[in-house]
Amino acid sequence: MRTYGDGTARRAALREVSIDLYPGQLVLLMGPSGSGKSTLLAVLSGLLEPDSGQVLADDDGAMRDIWQLTAKEREQHRRKHTGFIFQGYNLFPALTARQQLEIVLKWGEGADGGDARRRADEMLERLGLGNNKNKKPAQLSGGEKQRVAIGRALVKNPSFMFADEPTSALDWENGQKVIELLRDAAHQRGASVLCVSHDARLLPFVDVYYHLDDGHLERRELPAE
């Protein structure tokens, strides 16, 4: 359960929601604007504390409720195990595209400079950004910034991947590349991937489909191919 507001203005963004995310699965969450999708993503990823309930996650072999961890332990869990693709990019204005990815590897994994640069360059090439690796966010288009944000989340090979509208600023050619990367993170690397989107073109690429409306979550059948 997660609510907002006070008194008579209080409203529920999530109501008794239960969802299971498994390694190797790409899960799509759809629903109308304001239905609670981004709230659920933030609760599951450790960014927004629920009013009640648990978020159980595998933390180095032990199932733990991330909201029973201390703030420092929860930050360590996110840094080590979680990747988050923000809809608003959340890029550092003073860093180049390459540096946006390098800092995640150095800070999150303790990677040395050479390894961080190599892995950052490989990911940017996969995202079609090899020629833009030395550009800062102000020099990039919206779609390019979106791809840098996606690369930053994917480059450390997280166990849990949360993506908030990852294709919203992209044309379909680049959007398809992104969803294929997310699917690869699940199928090839064993990550648990939850993607929030309004884009029904993603349905053929996913393993599980949920619909959220007015705080209520329902698992739905994928359309026949």
In-domain check, residue 112? yes
Band of residue 109 on the pLDDT scale cut at 50, 70, 90: confident
| 119-160 pLDDT, tens digit each | 999 999 999 999 999 999 999 998 899 899 999 999 988 999
For residue 14, is it within any domain? no
In a domain, 178, yes or no: yes
Number of domain units in the chain: 1
What's the CATH code of the domain at 130?
A: 3.40.50.300
Q: Which domain holds residue 41?
A: 20-47+64-220
Q: Where are the beta strands (DSSP E) in 53-185?
A: 56-59, 62-65, 82-85, 160-164
> Is residue 99 in a domain?
yes
> Is residue 10 domain-resident?
no
Q: Distance (Å, rounded) from C-alpha 165 to C-alpha 180? A: 15
- Predicted confidence at residue 225, as pLDDT, reads 67
Q: In whole angstroms, what is the distance from residue 43 CA to residue 65 CA?
A: 12
Read off the pLDDT of residues 88-106 as tens digits, 9 standing for 90 and up. 889 999 999 999 999 999 9
Q: What is the pLDDT of residues 153-191, one digit of tens each?
A: 999 889 999 999 998 888 898 889 889 989 999 999 999
Average per-residue pLDDT for the chain: 91
Query: Is there a domain that residue 127 lies in?
Result: yes
Does some domain include residue 106?
A: yes
89 is a domain residue: yes
Task: Tell me if 151 sits within 8 A of 124, measured CB to CB.
Answer: yes
d(CA 152, CA 156): 8
pTM of the predicted model as reported, rounded to 2 decimal places: 0.88
What H or E segment, with its residue span, contains residue 210? strand 208-213
